[in-house]
Amino acid sequence: MINKKQDKFWSTIKDFVAAIIVVLVFITFFFQHSVIPSGSMIPTTLIGDFLFVSKYSYGYSKHSTPFYSVLPIKGKVWKKNPQRGDVVVFRVPQNNNEDWIKRVIGIPGDTVEVVDGRVILNGEELPLRYVGDYTARTDNLGEQVYAHYKQTLPNGVEHDIIKLNRFVGAPERLDNMPEIKIPPKHYFMMGDNRDGSTDSRNLRKLGVVHEDQIVGKARIIFYSTDARSKSDFARWISPNRFKRIFTFIK
């Protein structure tokens, strides 16, 4: 009788350990989930979106693992280069405990300049097409009406951006940045909410991002809530945005 109880106990322990190993393999090599806490990528992602991020898209560095803080290794294996227009999740160099989400605008070797909010990439202004007004809510500003544009990158990728000041003058803090050349293995990131994003335009706080810091590519929104509460539990039970669930990120 004792042996049967012991066998059952050890069988449960083995099943538990096996489950932990499967989870670790999954979050290390395939996907991790992220929750959007800010409005920096509105309208592509909203506060309260839950995302799946594919780690295999760009290869693996220590930041692909849950043990990044203790691993001494550098570089990537099975490396693939992000492309302009990709929406990526990366660890902030100044604080490796934080994951940020931004869009790749410049790749190694590009020159980037920002003049009155307009992006000059390799000497050419990125084309913008006005779409209309866009009403959005952010934690720090509340509900605001933005100007909604489509921006086209040199590789043909068209994506949404929003702007408070409609490019009239340059009152916003990151509307101007001197020309820089992106060094090898680095990427220039911007938020789609141009007046509500701290990104590579802020050369002191972030600047360009090294490829090793990139965790993966944001792929799909698997859940979305209006996220009015900071509590994780309250986020799950608050009103759902069903139209956003299982939509791909572009």
Catalytic site positions: 40, 102
| Per-residue tokens: 215 | 């965790």
Cα–Cα dist 110/123, whole Å: 9
As a whole number of Å, the end-to-end CA separation of the chain is 60
Residues 55, 125: contact at Cβ < 8 Å?
no
Amino acid found at 239 = P
Residues 104, 88: contact at Cβ < 8 Å?
yes
Cis peptide before 43 (omega within 30 of 0): yes
Beta-carbon contacts of residue 34 (< 8 Å; ≥ 6 apart): 50, 51, 53, 89, 99, 101, 218
